[in-house]
Amino acid sequence: RYRDPNAEEKMNPFAEQEAWEEHQIGKATMKFGSKNKKQVSDDYQFVFEDQIDFIKASVMEGDKFDYEEMKDSHEKSQAKSAFEALQEERKRLPMYPYRDELLKAVHDHQVLVIVGETGSGKTTQIPQYLHEAGYTKRGMIACTQPRRVAAMSVAARVSQEMGVKLGHEVGYSIRFEDCTSEKTILKYMTDGMLLREFLGEPDLASYSVVMVDEAHERTLSTDILFGLVKDIARFRPDLKLLISSATLDAEKFSDYFDSAPIFKIPGRRYPVEINYTKAPEADYLDAAIVTSLQIHVTQPPGDILVFLTGQEEIETAEEILKHRTRGLGTKIAELIICPIYANLPTELQAKIFEPTPEGARKVVLATNIAETSLTIDGIKYVIDPGFCKMKSYNPRTGMESLLVTPISKASANQRAGRSGRTGPGKCFRLYTAYNFQNDLEDNTVPEIQRTNLANVVLTLKSLGIHDLLNFDFMDPPPAEALLKALELLFALSALNKLGELTKVGRRMAEFPLDPMLSKMIVASENYKCSDEIISIAAMLSVGNSIFYRPKDKQVHADNARMNFHTGNVGDHIALLKVYNSWKETNYSTQWCYENYIQVRSMKRARDIRDQLAGLLERVEIELTANSNDLDAIKKSITSGFFPHSARLQKNGSYRTVKHPQTVHIHPSGGLAQVLPRWVVYHELVLTTKEYMRQVTELKPDWLVEIAPHYYQLKDVEDSSSKKMPRGAGIAS
């Protein structure tokens, strides 16, 4: 079993300790054995071959082209104005020579599959070409991205290239953040956002072109979009549809879109030397750090790209790298460490694209985001530990987890290719050639086949698509997962027995949230506490980045955090208290500092809350406050999260009520020392154990009262009730 250091995009106050805890135990090695963890001390020696043995395996032949000429023209352009330089740069992209040919193909065909290596200019250039050719006169051009960061950074880049202000002609739209205006003609957006736009505009009438970009990523939303855009293309002959992908499995896309022609952009790639380790690495994080430092000390100039699995791992690596380079002082050249992951604040994202100063070297610590969606110039060395974080779903229990999993061969080759974009590159795989050949799958399983489908099913139902089993999926999800989603939506009263959308379901679908969260909000109407509930929902949506816990002030930080837990109110209500206290100080930044709270996260929560308030109005739920009735608030939470209930065991662990499984209260939770008999939790995360995060106490009677179709009395009868009357120990 692989560890799950963090639920995606979330930070946990104990992240570092946990990361290290697991570090000691020994992390994911590729199933097939391990080497002893190497001891790393401060008087670290850079003996490359000694530390990690690499063997050179193969050399990929790059296409022929004139490297010197490119370099030369690049230098010349330095002198020109930034804008002119950008225009020159645009013309040097592999995409550029095919501009007219592409425009002709788009003119001649309604649907086109476009294939070109990462960095060829698909995402940034194609929408501009289409705009220059007049397509935006008939409507906007949408370009979807699987990742928020990609949508934002690409939009920023294109607005620079067009010399316009971001949010005007060129904008982006991601969940809870709409950076577009009346003027917008090129709209970069997450695939999930375009999916939601179908709810308001089922024929996408405001668009003249839809480009489903990064199609090879096969995210859940992209897969659903395929079915929907294929359908509208039939009755909207004026709509142009582009499916673009970085890998060569284009035939599959073409087949799906009724044999749409494939437009190939010839790659311009330099040879990449692939190195493998002689034996599997026991600790890939450590191996990655060691390798980075060794490249830095022993290899010619060129930046390094390291693929890690998530924010916490990246932060750990950043810290260790900083520590070790500091220890080496002026003995080595400057090493600029640039983290990049989905949750990285926008102002810090720009740093990775800044050119590296002369004499220094940049090391980019990235999640999978740098595999295809972002191109960073100047990368010459890639370090690939061979893992990524992947969602997996158990349709039987309905439990979803993010696990660190070996990547596929296709991913490994993508990663290697990132080093050969601007010159010959080197890739260091922290696994063996044997592992690569025999242990890695050829391709990644599409997300639709390994995820909870409740959200998508609710969206499809709201679009009037009822026959889900016969929906035109490129790869259908397991029938079991579809049924599970229907069951959950039925339990939440979003669907009736016939599988039709109910009024509750229609209201739920308006919220861009997981169905359980939307249900919690919709149910708050009954308990007259919608005001409190949307604050809680907003705080939960921000993730685990509310509290921060600096290393040297952990005790203070913990004390500050525990203040919000006075009365053992549970994590949800503690979050509400944080929000309300901040509001009472008139959203003071100073207050956040004093309480070890991340002001950026709070501002985001406020934004999200404002939007949720707007949506409440839209579904005609009054904003009512009921702050003194904590039971009402807890009942609303239970109305959405009753499938996530658990009961205390004698040994201090918990057992989930439906589909029994042993779980624990996360040590950072306010109730970790209290251990109430019955709890409802927001989510499960698997680190060293299966932990419940965001936990609130509940009364077992509520389960039967709120979800009589889901729980019977026997489910909630306390086995120890003979000794203790039911409800004892519950502070009410």
Binding segment (CB under 5 A) for Mg ion, from list 116-124, 221-229, 278-286, 648-656: 116-124
- Quote the least distance from Cβ 378 to ligand CDP, whole Å: 9
Closer to ligand CDP by CB, 124 or 316: give it. Answer: 124
- Quote the least distance from Cβ 266 to ligand CDP, whole Å: 12
Q: Which residue has the tokens 């009735």?
A: 629
Helical H segments across 54-190, by residue range: 67-78, 82-92, 99-108, 122-132, 148-162
Among 184, 291, 375, 530, binds ligand CDP (CB under 6 A): 375
Binding segment (CB under 5 A) for Mg ion, from list 115-123, 566-574, 640-648, 693-701: 115-123
Collect all residues with Cβ–Cβ distance below 8 Å to 621 and sequence separation of at least 6: 507, 521, 522, 524, 525, 530
User: d(Cα 311, Cα 293) in Å, to the nearest integer?
Assistant: 20
B/e letters for 623-639, b = 16+ CB within 10 Å, e = fewer, are eeebeeebebbbbbbbb
- Quote the least distance from Cβ 375 to Mg ion, whole Å: 7
> Residue 307: beta bridge partners?
366
Closer to ligand CDP by CB, 92 or 466: give it. Answer: 92
Assess 378 for contact with ligand CDP (CB under 6 A).
no
Among 12, 51, 120, 123, binds Mg ion (CB under 5 A): 123
How many other C-beta atoms are found inside a 10 Å radius of the C-beta of residue 599? 16
Select the binding partner of residue 668 from Mg ion, ligand CDP, none (C-beta < 5 to 8 A, by kind). Answer: none
- Quote the least distance from Cβ 370 to Mg ion, whole Å: 12
Residues 148-167 that bind ligand CDP (CB under 6 A): 153-154, 157
- Quote the least distance from Cβ 211 to ligand CDP, whole Å: 10
Binding segment (CB under 6 A) for ligand CDP, from list 111-119, 216-224, 290-298, 658-666: 111-119
Assess 377 for contact with ligand CDP (CB under 6 A).
yes
Select the binding partner of residue 114 from ligand CDP, Mg ion, none (C-beta < 5 to 8 A, by kind). Answer: none
User: d(Cα 534, Cα 625) in Å, to the nearest integer?
Assistant: 10
User: d(Cα 253, Cα 704) in Å, to the nearest integer?
Assistant: 48
CB 428 within 8 A of CB 478: no
- Quote the least distance from Cβ 563 to ligand CDP, whole Å: 42
How far is CA 101 from its chain centroid?
A: 35
Question: Which uninterrupted H or E stretch holds 44?
Answer: none
Closer to ligand CDP by CB, 157 or 572: give it. Answer: 157
Among 7, 29, 112, 116, binds ligand CDP (CB under 6 A): 116
Identify the burial level of 336 via C-beta atoms within 10 angstroms of its C-beta, where 0-12 means exposed, 13-18 middle and 19 or more buried.
middle
Assess 93 for contact with ligand CDP (CB under 6 A).
yes
DSSP SS3 for 160: helix
Concatenate the DSSP letters of all residues of 328-365 into one string: HGGGS--EEEEEE-TTS-HHHHGGGGSPPPTT-EEEEE
**Crossing angle of the two packed helices 530-542 and 515-523, in degrees rounded to 10:** 160
Binding segment (CB under 6 A) for ligand CDP, from list 118-126, 198-206, 533-541, 569-577: 118-126
- Quote the least distance from Cβ 155 to ligand CDP, whole Å: 9
Among 5, 13, 119, 515, binds ligand CDP (CB under 6 A): 119
Concatenate the DSSP letters of all residues of 432-447 into one string: -HHHHHHHS-SSPPPG
Assess 353 for contact with ligand CDP (CB under 6 A).
yes
Question: Which uninterrupted H or E stretch holds 582?
Answer: helix 571-584
Assess 121 for contact with ligand CDP (CB under 6 A).
yes
- Quote the least distance from Cβ 95 to Mg ion, whole Å: 10
Select the binding partner of residue 116 from ligand CDP, Mg ion, none (C-beta < 5 to 8 A, by kind). Answer: ligand CDP
Assess 123 for contact with ligand CDP (CB under 6 A).
yes
Q: Tell me, by CB under 5 A, how many residues bind Mg ion.
A: 1
CB 39 within 8 A of CB 282: no
B/e letters for 154-180, b = 16+ CB within 10 Å, e = fewer, are bbbbbbbbbebebbbbbbbbbbbbbbb
- Quote the least distance from Cβ 303 to ligand CDP, whole Å: 12
Among 51, 120, 222, 645, binds ligand CDP (CB under 6 A): 120
How many other C-beta atoms are found inside a 10 Å radius of the C-beta of residue 61? 10
Number of residues that this document lists for the chain:
732
Closer to ligand CDP by CB, 173 or 595: give it. Answer: 173
Residues that bind ligand CDP (CB under 6 A): 93, 116, 118-125, 153-154, 157, 353, 375, 377
Q: Which residues bind Mg ion (CB under 5 A)?
A: 123
